[in-house]
Structure 1
Amino acid sequence: MTSVLAPSRTYSSPQLSARETEILREWLLCDSKSEAASRLFVTAATVSTHISRIRDKYMRVGRPAATKTSLLVRALQDGVVSIDEL
């Protein structure tokens, strides 16, 4: 019998910078880009720019993430955030 919780796939993870990871985590844990920006002491435009670059990096490794939900799934798969944090 196969465990339902055991990962069955290997994913290619994009090489996110420490700042990209920080911004991605904060944005996923907030309700909006402006809230994340406020917590990180940057503008919402800066958050948007980083999120766009993160999406591009996921696209380049064959794991598109066009929505916040799909980016959350990628972040969970890659261990950027855990379900307990949400």
Structure 2
Amino acid sequence: MPAHHWPDAALSAREREVLVTWVLCDSKTDVAHRLYLSLGTVNTHITRIRAKYAAVGRTANTKAALVVRALQDGLIDLDEL
């Protein structure tokens, strides 16, 4: 079966880091502590991540949808979940 090529959301390195950390954490507060960011900064990154995915037709309004996007884009493996 051929690999599917998803439209690139063009996430920055920091946005990818926040997304992957959030996928692997229980809360945004945990992300903030792990990455030494404020909770507001984490929320801003997640809002921008969602907007970038929506802009390329890959809406991700929930954490579960963002997990799917991270898997599709190869940012995480199922083994990490």
For the structure 1 residues 37 and 7, does the alpha-carbon distance in structure 2 shift closer, same or farther, using more than 3 Å as the test? Answer: farther
CA distance in 1, matches of 2:75, 2:62: 17
TM-score (norm. length: structure 2): 0.94
1:79 aligns with 2:77: no
Q: Which has the larger radius of gyration?
A: 1
Task: Name the structure 2 match of 1:18.
Answer: 13
Task: Name the structure 2 match of 1:63.
Answer: 58
Aligned residues: 81
TM-score (norm. length: structure 1): 0.88
For the structure 1 residues 69 and 7, does the alpha-carbon distance in structure 2 shift closer, same or farther, using more than 3 Å as the test? Answer: farther
CA distance in 2, matches of 1:14, 1:58: 5
Structure 2 residue runs without a partner (length 5+) = none
Kindly report structure 1 stretches of 4+ aligned residues shifted beyond 4 Å. Answer: none
